[in-house]
Amino acid sequence: MKKIILVLFLLANLFFIGNLLISSDPMLHFWGVLFIIGIIVPGVLLSKGEYLTLSLVVLFTNLGSFGLFLFLYFLTNLIG
């Protein structure tokens, strides 16, 4: 079950990045909440020592996607 959740987070991140490259309009607050949850879950699994490689992959893609989301949010608020 935990492995399926990690794979779903990974697919959601890849969908976000792909959607961003295609349409460049990802500004939904749903994504921010999903990224925060997606950072917490692999962190908990890493602290327990379960699914180390998959947890690291999901954690780093979540951090990258969340950073990109925050950067785009900053740019849209800066430009108006």
* Domain assignments of the chain as residue spans, ordered by start: 2-79
17: exposed, middle or buried (C-beta count within 10 Å: 0-12, 13-18, 19+)?
middle
- Cα 22 off chain centre by: 17
Q: Which two tokens stand for residue 47?
A: 């602290």
The half-sphere exposure of 11 on its side-chain side, counting CA atoms within 13 A, is 6
Q: The pTM is what?
A: 0.83
Q: Are 62 and 42 in contact (CB under 8 A)?
A: yes
With 90 as the cut, is the pLDDT of residue 55 above it? Answer: yes
pLDDT at 28: 73
Q: Are 59 and 13 in contact (CB under 8 A)?
A: no
Percent of the chain predicted with pLDDT > 90: 48
